[in-house]
Amino acid sequence: MLQNLSIKKLAARAGFDLCGITPARPLDDSEAHFREWLRAGRHATLGYLERNLDKRFDPSRLVEGARSVVVCAVGFKNHRSEGYPAGCRTRVASYACTRDYHVTLRGMLHSMLAALQRENPGLTGRAFVDSAPLLEKRLAVEAGLGWIGRQSLLVTPQFGTYVLLGELVLTEETDRYDPPFEGVRCGRCRNCIESCPTGAIVAPKIIDAARCIACRTIEPLADAIDANDGDPDGWIFGCDRCQSCCPHNQKAPMHRNPAFDPLFDPAGIPPETWLAMDEREFVTRFGETPLLRAGLERIRRNLLRNLRENNREADDRE
């Protein structure tokens, strides 16, 4: 049997700020909500969300014989998480200013799994970082890390929403599981809903992907959606607006793990630099970051749309 305290010590040693452990069980209540969201078409053209629904709500379908899910979180807040200068048209979500978290977290999780397997030779399991249809935010709630806020993100008492999640699904039980997080601490605050530039939070915990700036600047959405009405608000990759306005984030500490030190400051890269950049320079400067996923052509298209909106606003003022 695995030891709860030992797992948490390994998580801290690997560089995680938070760790919780929950039984691997079906999440039937989440399935009904998710299917209704799909039926309403809120996922837009993100068709991959319709696949593997049977696995999404039951960790044992991803790892045969699964008994426990270890949910780990690391804070990533940096100075860009607090916002950009007014009028900035080259905004990048703060998590993307660092090395690609998929690579970083996967390495941290694999080090934990290897250590656990040395101590427990019969243990098998898998590490997940956005790499499978796993309800990581819901599992984080079950593991006691926080609650789901109105912007549909995990909110932790210690680090707000500025956390990145990774999971180990393991085939052995632990001596103790953490109790689920009880309650929601958003109170009457609606900052995230009211601050969204495109009204993508159509109701508490319901996101319309077709309106979401993060989806529109990163995901391979159809051109009709990519040209959806609404100013991208200066964002060329991702969006932090529903997070930077959150009171829990405003009091959250800066990241502690040096693996999440920013590699560049988007506010210091003017539009002309992006427009003059070639693929080779782009890969050299941003190849280790999440920006590589969107690619230079997509980012430049996002920037040009921002500049057009900026010019339109200037014409309206005249």
Which pLDDT value is given to residue 153?
Answer: 97
Give the Cα separation of 131 and 100 in Å (integer): 13
Q: What is the pLDDT of residue 314?
A: 53
Where in the sequence numbering do the catalytic residues fall? Answer: 130
Q: Give residue 225's pLDDT.
A: 43
List the end-to-end C-alpha distance of the chain, in Å, as a whole number.
Answer: 71
Domain with CATH 3.40.109 in the chain: 4-77+98-170
Neighbours of 52 (CB within 10 A): 14
- Of residues 276, 273, 271, the one with CA closest to residue 304: 271
Token pair recorded at residue 257: 């793990």
The pLDDT, as a whole number, for residue 316 is 53
Beta-sheet pairing, 163-170 with 68-75: antiparallel
Q: Which residues pair with 23 in a beta bridge?
A: 68
**pLDDT (0 to 100) of residue 229:** 53
Q: What is the three-class DSSP state of 310?
A: helix
Regions of the chain with pLDDT less than 50: 222-228
Rounded to two decimals, the pTM is 0.92
Burial class (CB in 10 A: 0-12, 13-18, 19+), 194: exposed
Q: Which of 107, 22, 16 lies closest to 59 in space, CA to CA?
A: 22
Question: Smallest Cα–Cα separation from 31: which of 3, 4, 9, 61?
Answer: 61
User: What's the pLDDT at 222?
Assistant: 44
> What's the rounded Cα separation, in Å, for the pair 255 and 163?
9
> For the chain, how big is the Rg over CA atoms in Å?
20
pLDDT at 123: 96
Has domain 4-77+98-170 been given CATH number 2.40.50?
Answer: no
Strands (E), 177-252: 201-203, 206-207, 235-237
Strand 125-128 and strand 163-170: the pairing is antiparallel
* Per-residue confidence (pLDDT) for residue 40, from 0 to 100: 81
Q: How far is it, in rounded angstroms, from Cα 198 to Cα 213?
A: 7
